[in-house]
Structure 1
């Protein structure tokens, strides 16, 4: 594959947000790798623009379960524009998605990852993975409505997950006399990583239950009831049926009241979950969704064409219609919340 415009340094990202570069350089690099002229790809519309980002064949979007709903909206929009293209969305978890990237599938596979990979990770430093921030995703902390809690401070939330913290909701103002049951994501979940690192700033407690209702016999000494589920839908289904349950999931999925009528979204520090205003109101549980490829996508490949599309007005329109906040503005600047810290 062709190197990024301006040259690439071994072991560095194709786009490094910490250097506060305009995404125009990233888009130029991306288009260069895909063999597409920037004028055609970033034009104001028309057949030439559409042809510049359409491919024939199949592209695999693998990874984040939290991003599945939005990814499916992107898939439908793209396939409507490009009738010879097929996109398969495979929600297998952020870390599993990254592990699925290989030199052999670099042309046809993109990993969806909640948040940026560490710049010194093996994927970035040794294997040359390249990231493209797509949209800011807001996550929700949710409880079963019978807990009778509508919001927590971040410090209160941390106390729930800390050693020696409360084991029942009655410890909080207005809380019901029901035990706290933590329903978490499994190890390797991007959402769990963001929750631990960005919100809790500590690991979650040890696993103590398989059914989420009671502690396993061999873990009876554990302080709290804590189980794990492999997808956000499983987390929400469990919170929906268990009084006292607390968990977390992508905001728009968690807000589906018809599917999860007993799930209540908590305000954090008095701030409602909202990706669109996360930067302004400092909502603490939001992160960019980043698309990763194994090196620069090969010329004229499905991955290259699709990433070109993601920098277009059409893609931004689809993201907004799905309730997501695009990371890339029309002048190709990356919004601050989407940059790596």
Structure 2
């Protein structure tokens, strides 16, 4: 930096202000500094800077199942939000393994990230205990928890119960379905429990009995959901409609219906949680609850940076409403 300052004829403080946009400088001064940076091939030493400031301008994102189209969108939005705040995102995938989840949050801490955004596994106790013990600023993402260590953490995700009830109620009230199945996500996940609760509540409100044979697990993945849907179709009295818990499972459900030669929605109506870029390319197009992933990601980054700067700030838990996108897979007429 001293070499750049000498070549540009300015102080090292001015070089810092130009490179970090921390103070306004004249156009001529900025041009001189940037030219000197180019000539000297100077790059800031972020390791040295982190030793001086105790900050690395990096954030950790712990996210399982990144092959899920929803999580891919969430990752992209989180990276954009972090970059806009001047941060680099370090991504790790714990593969829904609680033991490995604790390992990867420790690794992020060893890299001295300024905070961690965590989409918790079904049993995140070890990871949460590590983050709390080391006072790592943490925000829970998507899978919101209650009680225990989670009660002290900022959290942001979608509202799940009422949204799933709306999907189920639409099948009953708009299309008269009485035998409705649920392909639920991985057992133990907060989102799985909340969406199942919404499904059950909607059945009860409609006066429909709960049939355990119609509630199956697709394990939040495509192939298990395909097998689960095939099992539903093999029942003596198959469902006439199905609610699917996420978009990876929706792909499996649609594949199973096509394998069986069942037409959507004539034979089986389909509604699902999560929208994705090609949901309206299916034939028929999919009726879904679309999660506001960009807003979820930007709020997670905002909460994390606030927690880093204000350790004693009040805890915030944000549940953002999804949007009900009606297309044709439920039986509604095609929109123009």
Q: TM-score, normalised by structure 1?
A: 0.40
Asked which structure has the greater CA Rg, the reply is 2
Q: TM-score, normalised by structure 2?
A: 0.41
Higher helix share: 2
Q: Larger RCO: Structure 1 or Structure 2 (Cα < 8 Å, ≥ 6 residues apart)?
A: 1
